[in-house]
Structure 1
């Protein structure tokens, strides 16, 4: 219906706007509540994610396999060492007697790349130490053709060839792709005659370590796998003569990090919970948390703090883990190291199967994607926000209808007032005319 605002001497549109502002107050309260609920939901979702991360970290610490690591060290960087799952603590004094070498042939004669160098045709014979021979076809018998044929993966030669530039031309250098004494080979023309004037050889060599007491070990490479069970040693090329003390010990630093990370993660979650559920102080509620007084969060917080208590006479203080009067967990690193050094296996079993397992169970009970308490709280708040948003939308229609009704009422009122004003003006005119007639 068209508005005729102002016809009756007053602005009905402005009055309708003012009345509608009052009508909107309930909807605005719903919108404000929905916004507040959304902020609380965001905080709850973030907290739930942190608790889920805590559950994952606790699960790692609860896995006894993660406590079995060993640290391997060497006093000389030229001797590398690593320890596997089957290794045991111990130490070795290692002297590098020899390092592994590949077999090399440096041929005497020089030639241009395009010169024919293969006698009697285009084929050469590769003779290995194990007695096997392979005939290689160079296709054109040239120096470049010979190098290319030796390097062709399809020929599976087990050698690599290089053409070395010298003052008189190029010389052929051929080297085995593996190291060790068994990498020896020979290379001749197909008829057995010397190729390129013959070659000077550098024999392949096994790496050799001296372990003392007359014990030596060899390897075709510079890596000695399972030198002792679970321990692998790798020596650098050119390290012959180097002596190193190799030690394998329990990974104390790794075990300490495992526990420290768990305690730090647990404290981070507990601090977040305390901040979110704080009631605030003073009349203005300064410091009030987004989830002030939330019973679900406080319940989960209490369960996490209760993980300090084990069954029977178990005491985490022996491992340096305690809880202070503020509810924060503390880790005495020196106390942990002392206990771990005395009994690595017992310490690992006690913490993994006790404290870490309890934290994992409490965190999972709160954040499990199907059954977690915090997860259920998140789901409930989402549903509540959806209902509030539906109510806000319903108010939009209600307010639209109310504005239409008010506009019609005030338009009718203005029309009536306008008519009355017109009639009043006309009547006043008539009365004035009658007065003028009487005077005359």
Structure 2
């Protein structure tokens, strides 16, 4: 109103302050909606975080509930020059072998040259499978030849190596060709000449073989009638035993190496510890969001404020379901016998040493019990967090719908309040105008009366 230049002009009223006060009263319903929106938004955000954590637990529990998922095996080697690693698909056993040779990658090196000796420059690479790749460099420059070989993607990498100068002071280079793949599969032959010359047998071989392509080779059960040679293009023999990879680093044709695979409890213990840690974090987060706080109020007493999850049925249902899944007996046996214990405050503790002992005493039975618990946890977590049917997911959808409705109502109030303020401003402007008119009329009448009195007394 002050901006219109009529604030209290005739009435002496602070119209702007009056309108502001009236609008504050008018806006109370909208303020209540905004407060409600803030609570709904915070609750929805907390639910989404909770749902994400539960979904992660569901994924992990589903994986560990699968048959054999908790089984673990460790591979050992009798030699420091041989290493072995076992996957969950491995099984107990051992195998002995000698190492006949290591894998090698072919390397060829050409003569020292200042430029490629043929013009136009042409060379052909022939792979181990007989595939021919003709290469036509842009010029006889050794740099162009090197670049052309690398651009051909023929399974060979070229490197230009400085080799001094010739008698005329020209820089000399040698081209080194190295196979991209180790082992016999990476073998190649390089020729000066096109594919036709190679086929006709008239092409000139390029470069000397510095390192010949070679597969790694081991002999299983050496010295017996069952001995067998096994090769690999690398020094790693994948799946030499089921689920076991073996890597060799030195040749030894005399002393046999033994690789043994034995069961280990590490996988079950580690997986279970991770699962219990996730559940503990979940229960802790729920407890934090459920806790109430006490603070002094304006009347001299205290006010108790609940957390965002306080009294929420879905969250309570989740906690009860997850806690029961983790701690309820399996075939009449309490999970506390393997280190999973429920506490007084409604959470769990996990004793990894107790689980390790149980696995040592009865690995099969303990793993079966852990899988049953994982299956129950997976079911409970999925029931809550499933993208389509989870009750937490459904509740989040409801909260998002409530947010949308509240935002629409708040926006509607924005329009309503703007209209109300505009009407108040018009009313007070009209009041000031009316009062100003009345004041003008009053002043006029007063002057007329004064004139009459002066005339009468004269």
Query: Is the 2:98–2:219 Cα contact (8 Å) retained in structure 1?
Result: yes
1:245-273 deviation digits (Å, cap 9, x = unpaired): 53312242222111111111111111111
Gaps of 5+ in 1: 117-125, 138-143, 184-189
- Within 5 Å, which residues of 2 pair with 1:3-42? 4-6=6-8, 7-42=10-45
Secondary structure of the residue aligned to 2:273 is: helix
Query: Is the 2:236–2:247 Cα contact (8 Å) retained in structure 1?
Result: yes
- Asked if 1:332 is matched to 2:332, the reply is no
1 CA distance for matches of 2:82 and 2:384?
A: 49
2 CA distance for matches of 1:21 and 1:275?
A: 36
2 CA distance for matches of 1:5 and 1:113?
A: 95
Query: Is the 2:72–2:266 Cα contact (8 Å) retained in structure 1?
Result: no
1:406 corresponds to which of 413, 419, 424? 424
1 CA distance for matches of 2:447 and 2:242?
A: 124
2 CA distance for matches of 1:403 and 1:105?
A: 89
2 CA distance for matches of 1:382 and 1:367?
A: 16
Query: Is the 1:277–1:288 Cα contact (8 Å) retained in structure 2?
Result: yes
Deviation at 1:287, TM superposition (A): 7.8
- Asked if 1:423 is matched to 2:441, the reply is yes
Deviation at 1:340, TM superposition (A): 1.4
1 CA distance for matches of 2:428 and 2:21?
A: 13
Q: How many residues align?
A: 411
- Structure 2 residue aligned with 1:344: 363
- Within 5 Å, which residues of 2 pair with 1:84-233? 87-91=90-94, 96=99, 99=102, 207-208=217-218, 217-221=228-232, 222=235, 228=241, 230-233=243-246
Secondary structure of the residue aligned to 2:76 is: strand
Deviation at 1:76, TM superposition (A): 4.1
Task: Give the TM-score normalised by structure 2.
Answer: 0.69
2 CA distance for matches of 1:369 and 1:255?
A: 29
1 CA distance for matches of 2:408 and 2:291?
A: 31
1:50 corresponds to which of 45, 50, 53? 53
Deviation at 1:309, TM superposition (A): 0.7
Secondary structure of the residue aligned to 2:23 is: helix
Larger Cα-atom Rg? 1
Q: CA RMSD in A?
A: 5.4
Query: Is the 1:74–1:80 Cα contact (8 Å) retained in structure 2?
Result: yes
Query: Is the 2:338–2:358 Cα contact (8 Å) retained in structure 1?
Result: yes
1 CA distance for matches of 2:57 and 2:15?
A: 62
- Asked if 1:71 is matched to 2:74, the reply is yes
Task: Give the TM-score normalised by structure 1.
Answer: 0.72
- Structure 1 residue aligned with 2:278: 265
The more displaced of 91-100 and 356-365 is: 91-100
